[in-house]
Structure 1
Amino acid sequence: MPRTVTVSYDSPLGPMTLAAVAGPQRAEGVLTGCWFDGQRHDRAGLGTDARALGGPDAAQGPQAARSGGGAHGAPGTGGAADGGAWAVLAQALAWLDAYFAGRDPGPRPALAAPGTRFQHLVWDELLTLPRGSTRTYGGLARDLEARTGRRCAARAVGGAVARNPVSVIVPCHRVLGADGSLTGYAGGSERKAWLLRLEGVALPVDGRLAGPVAVGGEHHG
């Protein structure tokens, strides 16, 4: 059975928790969650068997691996069974470091968040939104209709976006209300505004866009 491993991350917007799994079928590890601590749906779906890396474990785990140290399978850290989880967590931590520093973070770590088929369709659509662009919930629903050939309600899309368990890395913060309002973000509107400004989106004082930024440009972030 894949074992879930979690690690804390100190972001400019407050502490975050990341989760990953590794096992016989997932030797390289996959990221299953990335939440702002205390957000809506914080750590939803995270099993009770999840093991947090802390103290000596963290020193030998993803934090050390990110800086070039650490040995996968070191004593006291769960052994080689967690090596894939450490590897993907190290990649995710480095990705977040680059992103919050305003740099191109490069390819995303491997993702395997738990969710329904519809939720995964919506989350996959989020991955097509380039850094520095925005889309409305209605626009995202129309994109999904064009992709699947099935009618899709903006409200249903909004529900799936709000349930995105991989904050920042899967950019649900790039989705706006029909009037450009910063609504629906599980991490809160202040974080949403901060992330959009980091990406170069011009927001007025009231945190509302006159209209969504056209989708285009580089596909990263």
Structure 2
Amino acid sequence: MELYFTTCQTPLGEAVLLAGEAGLMGLWLPGQKPDAGLMARAQRRDSAPLLVQGKDWLQRYFCGQRPTPAEIALDPQGSEFRQRVWRRLCRIPYGELTTYGQIAREITRQTGKRMSAQAVGGAVGHNPVSLIIPCHRVVGENHSLVGYNGGVQIKRRLLRYEGVDVDRLTDPKPKRETPAV
């Protein structure tokens, strides 16, 4: 399979896009690390149609035009469980939030297998097509901005772009430092 990548400037900084023959396989924002294995196999091809579509999607998003994941071919690589979670993320409407627990309960109802919010968080955290698969719209049960691969400040900025009242959301609890003995 041939893989292609490009970069593009966003209001957040430089993003990296990766595509294969079937769809966009990766989108990494500043602060997120591209998949080194896939990137090592990819050739830079700024004019590849899927990458051009990805850049157009980003431009429309940052201009407030509300593009949806369904508007672009996606081909994220992951287990069936991760794929299920990523498909669920694609159904979160622009400007709305859900929680890891809500997704876990929904998957439990669908499959009959008990699912934890932590397992969902793991799948969300491995989302390779950041922003288009809107993992930034998932928060903790207590409206905490936990679990964003690009960092809390980027998550907060993305939600602001979408008109979410981020002032009602809390930052994750700071980790306690162990006192020196």
Task: Return the TM-score normalized by structure 2.
Answer: 0.87
AA aligned to 2:56 is A
Greater C-alpha radius of gyration: 1
After TM superposition, which residue ranges in structure 1, 4 or more long, deviate above 3 angstroms?
none
- Which of 131, 147, 153 is the aligned partner of 1:190? 153
Report the Cα offset of residue 197 of structure 1. Answer: 1.2
Distance 2:117 2:79 in 1: 17
1:34 aligned residue = 27
Task: Return the TM-score normalized by structure 1.
Answer: 0.72
Distance 2:153 2:127 in 1: 18
Q: Matched residues, percent identical?
A: 41
Alignment: residue pair count? 170
Q: Cα RMSD between the aligned structures?
A: 1.7
Is 2:66–2:94's contact at 8 Å kept on the other side of the alignment?
no
Report the Cα offset of residue 37 of structure 1. Answer: 3.9
Report the Cα offset of residue 45 of structure 1. Answer: 4.8
Which has a greater percent of helix? 2
- Which of 35, 54, 69 is the aligned partner of 1:43? 35
1:147 aligned residue = 110
C-alpha spacing 1:198/1:37, structure 2 compared with 1 (3 Å): closer
Instruction: Tell me which moved more, 9-18 or 105-114.
Output: 105-114
CA shift digits 1:4-45 (9 cap, x unpaired): 1000011111111000012xxxxxx41100011442x53255
CA shift digits 1:91-117 (9 cap, x unpaired): 111111000111132543111111111
Does structure 1 residue 98 correspond to structure 2 residue 97?
A: no
SS of the residue 2:119 aligns to: helix
Report the Cα offset of residue 148 of structure 1. Answer: 2.2
Report the Cα offset of residue 147 of structure 1. Answer: 2.3
1:131 aligned residue = 94
Distance 2:44 2:30 in 1: 14
1:7 aligned residue = 6
Is 2:5–2:39's contact at 8 Å kept on the other side of the alignment?
no
SS of the residue 2:38 aligns to: coil
Distance 1:47 1:12 in 2: 23
Does structure 1 residue 88 correspond to structure 2 residue 54?
A: no
SS of the residue 1:113 aligns to: coil
AA aligned to 1:204 is D
SS of the residue 2:56 aligns to: helix
What are the ranges of 5 or more consecutive residues in structure 1 without an aligned counterpart? 23-28, 62-85, 210-221
